[in-house]
Amino acid sequence: MGCVGIPSSKSPTRWGGRWLGYNETLYVPQWIQKSWQKADMHIPDGYLSPTTCAILYGSAAPFWYSSLQRLKKRLTARLVPLLAVMAALSFVIMMFNLPLPGGTTGHAVGVGIATILLGPWASILAISIALGIQAVFFGDGGLTTLGANCFNMAIVGSLVAYAVYRLAAGRAALTSPRRVVAAALAGYVAINASALCAAVEFGIQPMFFKDASGAPLYAPYPLKIAVPAMMIGHLTFAGLAELVLSAGVVAYFQRTNPVLLRQTASANLAAGPGAASGESVWHALRPLWVALALLMVLTPLGILAAGTAWGEWNAGDFATAQGREMMATASQHAAPPAAPPRGLERLSTLWTAPFPQYAPSFVRHPALGYALSAMFGSGAILLVSFAAGSLVRRARGKNHELS
Amino acid sequence: MNFEFPILNPTASVFQVREVTFRYHQVTALDGLSLSVRPGTRVALMGANGSGKSTLLRLLDGLAFPESGAIDFCGEPLTEERLQNSQFAHSFRRRVGLVFQNPDIQLFCPTVFDEVAFGPLQLHWPKEKVRAAVENMLEVMRVAHLRDRSPHHLSTGEKKRVTLASVLVLDPEVLLLDEPTAALDPRSASQMIDFLIGLHGGPKTVITTTHDLDIVEDVADECFVFQSGRVVASGTPMEILSQAPLLERTNLIHAHRHIHSTGETHSHPHLHGHKH
Amino acid sequence: MNFLERTLEGFLNAMEHALSAEALAKAPGLLQRIDPRVKVAGILTLIVAAAAAHRLWVIAAVFGIALLLGVASRVSPLLLAKRVWIPVLLFTGVIVLPAPLVVPGRAIARLPGLGWPLSAQGLASAEYLVARVMTAATLSVLMIVSTPWTRVMKALRVLRVPMVVVVILGMAYRYIFLLLESSRDMLESRRSRMVGALKGSDQRRIAAASAGVLIAKTLQLSGDVYSAMLARGFAGEVAMLEDFHAAARDWLALAGFASVAAAAFYFGL
């Protein structure tokens, strides 16, 4: 049980903080350092209330079920050995210590590479099974929080990785460098999306679950602390680890066996200009739709943020005591001016939003209002994008005919 | 329901391989190969690594199908379509058993007991019958003390015995063995051979692939020598083993420099012989 | 190479972990003798009870029960300390250190020097979290070290886990060890061929290539295992032999778990 010097990164100790235990030239016994490194994003029992755990199990279950059905149809009997072996692989990959830029090392979940090689559905199941084995047999991650961990890492991670990879790689050839970049991006964004989910899950605990005296019963830090704390560690180390692994393995397979990258490449690769058929676009982007739907459903979380976003006040708020208090709290107790700025006053009557405060007048419940606004807003953006896209395609098509 | 396909012609070959070609990853593993195996015989497929013998075994077990040519099992064609019929597959899998060369791919259940029970359970035997058959087979193969062990806690010899047990528990008529003594130390290898010689009342037809010339006489009555995906010679073990040029041509023996006890150094083709 | 060695170290730990669990599972202790299904259901219920409790003393009581079970099952406190308590204190303990400063509430003390207030609620929240994590982790380790993993897998059926998932879990666990061994061999041979320190980018390339080789081999393995399964009659349906027999002792244990859990829920909520 020797001691290891934790490699000091060039940047100051602010990075990473206590979550990853990196300190400049601090000699820490190995068995201590291991506890810090292994923890990563596996949420242990006790951090999330049983209600939260139940909700997350409930959210994970439809994805598990749907992935299983999909794979059964596509793979039939091959499903069992493939998932078993892939789960074992996922487990072992999570144990790899990866060298990162800056001289440090970290662990990756492998969600980027699993999604790229196997597709999102197999990735969801393989990683979930690996997480289950880690939780039950190796004590990494809790049993009540297994649903949450699977939701964050396996489900959100795989879907986000898939969407980002497909979008970023487009129809580049299997061996093109663009795919390596796309893989890096996919891994990085996916792991940060997972971290964000975990951070939100932590952050809402003290809001809802307190004992009689007001002490938080589970994770004690509110969103405004939990989110930055989680994200800093993941935007740097964990994200980098995932990036390095995804990019490195894709590059390796491009050299040795590009056909393995075919699973998540679209049907027609680098086939020149010409729109992909409507059906394949839909198929390719299906996880994106799912992700979008998820986000829409989760928008009511915005209600939980206390007060209003800084700067999002209207002219009337300067007059009411409540409005002024909101402004003061958001601005570190600096007193707001007595009257609204002239420009604000002039322009504030120019436009009245159809859904002020994200609540159409006929909708009572604010959460429903948020969700509806999200659907309406996203729908409007999508319509406009499709319209613009088809106009562009038509114009291009005309050009081709002419040339 | 155990529906057995009748053997239409009792004197027909168990396996009839006709002009079979099979390619794997741009490599031609079998190149217009033909042979036939009569029921009740013990056959050795001999050849160096890469000569196509393991590939042929997989084709004989219906795990892969030839690009051209045909394989008949007991007078009936063995094709992918026929194996998709669950009744035929059921019957075929019970009658033909394959022991792979690498035991780790074949030991995929959590314990030895589960592994031996896998085959019978897949064939829908009643649970009591499964339990009884497994217990019996564990005794016969002398691995009963390993019943609750996981595969990664077994030695190579034990692994091979367990894989053999897991196939023999179904009481197949045909046994296909892929390099049964590969990677075994001499003692385990000899135990394996003892066992294979003493297989009474078990499989009637045994097809063994090997590049180990020492065991050929013990496990086979008839040999086929493979090279580059074709059969280049056939005959009894005595006949084949006496043809040194053939053996050298097909890489079954080697000529390397060695030192005699007199101190003389030279090289000539030789078999590392055994003493009686 | 630092990262190679650390990875190999991690592999070794995992294998030791599993081995020691299997060894303990054979000891003649209390938990070892109870039917795995009762254990899985019972311990899980206790974990949920500890997670749900709103009172610290209830969590502590469940922890006490866990300790008693551990002692009765010949699990040395030293093992529990090394595997559970110390890592929990180092991770969760460190995370909750700022809680009394951050969580708003009634100030009960002030930080010497800086004068920042420490709140009672913050302290309580730290206690809750550490107690919960300790108790849950102790209980789950007890379950694993007192039962062979193969029986834990099969016992999951009692929680309505589908048969195909249990089969996949069992196969995955078994192959983890094969992959660990072959990865270890590969990394050890890489390490032995490395002389001197390498540039960061080279290190990353090596790490990625190692992962790549492992992945390629594993994809091949899955095809081979599938062939082996087909050869033994596999046609898509999974089946397993379960030989659980509940004796009077097991019903008693179940009653024991149930009453402790019920009490914990009653007093805790």
* A228 contact partners, CB below 8 Å, separation of at least 6: none
Residue to test with chain C: of A85, A136, A262, most C Cβ within 10 A: A85
Specify the residue for token string 């939100």: A200
Distances (CA, A) of C38 to A370, B260, C127, C244, C246: 45, 69, 30, 10, 9
**Is there a contact between C83 and A139 if contact means CB atoms under 8 Å apart?**
yes
Q: Report chain B (276 residues): mean pLDDT per 10 consecutive residues.
A: 49 84 86 89 87 90 92 90 90 93 94 94 92 92 90 91 92 90 80 72 81 84 89 88 83 69 65 48
Contact status of C78 with chain A (Cβ, < 8 Å): no
**C-alpha Rg value of chain A to the nearest Å:** 24
Which residue among C121, C133, C211 sits closest to A214, beta carbon to beta carbon?
C121
Given a cut of 50, is residue A23 above it in pLDDT? no
- The pLDDT, as a whole number, for residue B177 is 92
Give A241-257 as a DSSP string. Answer: HHHHHHHHHHHHHHHH-
Where residue A282 falls among pLDDT bands split at 50, 70, 90?
low
- The pLDDT, as a whole number, for residue A21 is 34
Nearest CA in chain A to C96: A220
**Is there a contact between A133 and C133 if contact means CB atoms under 8 Å apart?**
no
Task: Name the residue among A303, A305, A321, A286 with its Cα closest to residue A366.
Answer: A303
Given a cut of 50, is residue A160 above it in pLDDT? yes
C-alpha span between B140 and B135 (Å, rounded): 9
Task: List the single range of A31-35, A315-319, A324-328, B70-74 with lowest mean pLDDT.
Answer: A31-35
Residue A337: how many other CB atoms lie within 10 Å: 10
Residues of C in contact with B118 (CB under 8 A): 232, 234
- The pLDDT, as a whole number, for residue A271 is 43
Given a cut of 70, is residue A354 above it in pLDDT? no
Torsion angle, alpha carbons of C78, C82, C84, C87, to 10: 150
Task: List the single range of A20-24, A109-113, A354-358, C160-164 with lowest mean pLDDT.
Answer: A20-24
Which residue among C2, C171, C207 sits closest to A80, beta carbon to beta carbon?
C171
Token pair of C16, please? 């030791």
- The pLDDT, as a whole number, for residue C29 is 86
C-alpha span between C213 and A332 (Å, rounded): 55
What's the full length of chain C, in residues? 269
Which residue among A7, A117, A142 sits closest to C136, beta carbon to beta carbon?
A142
**Is there a contact between C51 and A45 if contact means CB atoms under 8 Å apart?**
yes
Which residue among B104, B127, B170 sits closest to C178, beta carbon to beta carbon?
B104
Residue A1: how many other CB atoms lie within 10 Å: 5
Task: Let me know: does A111 contact C127? Beta carbons within 8 Å.
Answer: no
- The pLDDT, as a whole number, for residue C165 is 92
Task: Let me know: does A115 contact A90? Beta carbons within 8 Å.
Answer: no
Phi, psi of C110 (to 5 degrees): -130, 145
Give B62-128 as a DSSP string. Answer: TSS--SEEEEEETTEE--HHHHHSHHHHHHHHHHEEEE-S-HHHH--SSSHHHHHHHHHHHTT--HH
C-alpha span between A234 and C28 (Å, rounded): 45
Neighbours of chain B (3+ CB pairs under 8 A): C
Distance from C59 to chain A by nearest Cα, in Å?
Answer: 11
Task: Let me know: does A172 contact A77? Beta carbons within 8 Å.
Answer: no
* B248 contact partners, CB below 8 Å, separation of at least 6: B254, B255, B269
Token pair of C250, please? 């097991």
- The pLDDT, as a whole number, for residue A274 is 35
Between A392 and A103, name the one with better pLDDT.
Answer: A103
Most confident of A58-72, A102-116, A252-266: A58-72
Share of chain A above pLDDT 90, in %: 37
Helix segments in chain C, DSSP class H: 2-24, 36-52, 56-72, 77-80, 86-88, 94-96, 99-102, 120-145, 149-155, 163-192, 200-231, 248-268
C-alpha span between A222 and C125 (Å, rounded): 12
Residue to test with chain C: of A89, A225, A263, most C Cβ within 10 A: A89
* C53 contact partners, CB below 8 Å, separation of at least 6: C59, C62, C264, C265, C267, C268, C269
Largest CA distance in chain A: 77
Task: Let me know: does C206 contact A115? Beta carbons within 8 Å.
Answer: no
**C-alpha Rg value of chain C to the nearest Å:** 23
Task: Let me know: does A1 contact C86? Beta carbons within 8 Å.
Answer: no
**Is there a contact between C14 and A95 if contact means CB atoms under 8 Å apart?**
yes
- The pLDDT, as a whole number, for residue A93 is 93
Distance from C29 to chain B by nearest Cα, in Å?
Answer: 19
Given a cut of 60, is residue A7 above it in pLDDT? no
Output DSSP code: residue A216: B
Where residue A378 falls among pLDDT bands split at 50, 70, 90?
low
Between A63 and A12, name the one with better pLDDT.
Answer: A63
Domains and CATH numbers, chain A: 1-37 (no CATH), 43-402 (1.10.1760.20)
Which residue among C10, C55, C126 sits closest to A97, beta carbon to beta carbon?
C10
Given a cut of 90, is residue A132 above it in pLDDT? yes
Beta strand A27-29 with B254-259 is: unpaired
Given a cut of 80, is residue A402 above it in pLDDT? no
The question of ipTM being above 0.90 is answered as yes
Task: Name the residue among B169, B176, B160 with its Cα closest to residue B96.
Answer: B176
**Is there a contact between C211 and A93 if contact means CB atoms under 8 Å apart?**
yes
Token pair of A122, please? 């197999």
Specify the residue for token string 């601005």: A331
Q: Find residue C117's DSSP bridge partners.
A: C110
Output DSSP code: residue A76: G
**Is there a contact between C174 and B61 if contact means CB atoms under 8 Å apart?**
no
- State the average pLDDT over residues A348-352: 65
Nearest CA in chain B to C154: B110
Residue to test with chain C: of B58, B95, B108, most C Cβ within 10 A: B108
Token pair of A380, please? 């409007």
Task: Let me know: does A247 contact A178? Beta carbons within 8 Å.
Answer: no
Interface B–C counts its CB contacts (< 8 A) at: 83
**Is there a contact between A98 and C204 if contact means CB atoms under 8 Å apart?**
yes
Task: Name the residue among A52, A362, A30, A80 with its Cα closest to residue C238.
Answer: A80
Largest CA distance in chain B: 69
Amino acid (one-letter) located at B35: L
Task: Name the residue among C113, C102, C124, C122 with its Cα closest to residue C53.
Answer: C124
Task: Name the residue among A113, A114, A139 with its Cα closest to residue A124.
Answer: A114
Positions in chain C whose pLDDT score sits under 50: none
Amino acid (one-letter) located at A373: S
- The pLDDT, as a whole number, for residue A275 is 38
Three-state DSSP at A58 gives: helix
Sign of torsion, CA A21 A25 A28 A30?
positive
Q: Which secondary structure element, helix H or strand E, spans residue A17, and what is its range?
A: helix A17-20
Largest CA distance in chain C: 74
Q: Which secondary structure element, helix H or strand E, spans residue A228, and what is its range?
A: helix A223-233
Output DSSP code: residue A210: B
**Is there a contact between B109 and C181 if contact means CB atoms under 8 Å apart?**
no
Phi, psi of C88 (to 5 degrees): -65, -45
Which residue among B94, B108, B122 sits closest to C239, beta carbon to beta carbon?
B122
Where residue A17 falls among pLDDT bands split at 50, 70, 90?
very low
Task: Name the residue among A287, A302, A259 with its Cα closest to residue A117.
Answer: A259
Where residue A82 falls among pLDDT bands split at 50, 70, 90?
very high
Output DSSP code: residue B246: H
Distances (CA, A) of A208 to A223, B51, C225: 12, 69, 49
Residues of C in contact with A129 (CB under 8 A): 165, 168-169, 172
Which residue among A82, A97, A248 sits closest to C208, beta carbon to beta carbon?
A248
- The pLDDT, as a whole number, for residue A375 is 61
Residue A348: how many other CB atoms lie within 10 Å: 13
- The pLDDT, as a whole number, for residue A116 is 94
Distance from C99 to chain B by nearest Cα, in Å?
Answer: 45
Phi, psi of C54 (to 5 degrees): -100, 0
Task: Name the residue among C24, C240, C250, C47 with its Cα closest to residue C153.
Answer: C240
- The pLDDT, as a whole number, for residue A260 is 87
